[in-house]
Amino acid sequence: MANKNSTLTHLLFVLLVAVTAFSVACGASDDDERNNADEDAALVSQSGHFEAHLSPTPASPVTGENTLHIHLMDPEGNDLTGASLAVEPWMPAHGHGSPEEPVVEEGSDGMYTVSNLVYSMPGHWEVRIDITHDDTSDRIVAEFDVQ
């Protein structure tokens, strides 16, 4: 009997830890969304390998053609040069992307310019940025409310 009780207690504890961990993860993603609205905050990639400052042009993205300037860094804030970026605009509510293929060009000092970034309609869009540097790949997801 004591054994069963302690097993049950253990299970409840595991469950509680799992629920707590899930809440913390949700909290972190809320923080990310807040960060996305703040142009000065660095976005962190999903596995923590890269960070980026994003600067859209126009500053409030619009339906049609936009440009996105990305300052890519390692977690210590050093410029990350020589990375390859694949950029995909995505509208989660409708499950569709962009009719156009974004073009990525690397500048100096860890700056990358994404042109031909086309949002086909107003609303909430993700910009999924898949980054590969040396043998490390990771994804940054930025979110924009497109006018």
Residue nearest to Cu ion (CB): 94
* 121 scored as a contact of Cu ion (CB under 5 A): yes
Q: Is the Cα torsion angle 29, 98, 38, 48 positive or negative in sign?
A: positive
Give the interface segment with Cu ion, choosing from 27-35, 65-73, 104-112, 116-124 (CB under 5 A).
Answer: 116-124
Which position has the token pair 């694949």? 86
* 118 scored as a contact of Cu ion (CB under 5 A): no
Q: Which residues contact 131 (CB under 8 A, 6 or more apart)?
A: 45, 49, 50, 72, 83, 84, 85, 137, 138, 139, 140
- Comparing CB distances to Cu ion, the nearer of 10 and 94 is 94
Write down the least CB distance from residue 125 to Cu ion, Å. 8
Residues 85-104 that bind Cu ion (CB under 5 A): 91, 94
Give the interface segment with Cu ion, choosing from 46-54, 101-109, 113-121, 135-143 (CB under 5 A).
Answer: 113-121
* 122 scored as a contact of Cu ion (CB under 5 A): no
Write down the least CB distance from residue 127 to Cu ion, Å. 14
54: nearest Cα among 115, 132, 131, 113? 113
* 124 scored as a contact of Cu ion (CB under 5 A): no
* 37 scored as a contact of Cu ion (CB under 5 A): no
- Comparing CB distances to Cu ion, the nearer of 26 and 121 is 121
* Chain residues that interact with Cu ion, rule: CB under 5 A: 91, 94, 121
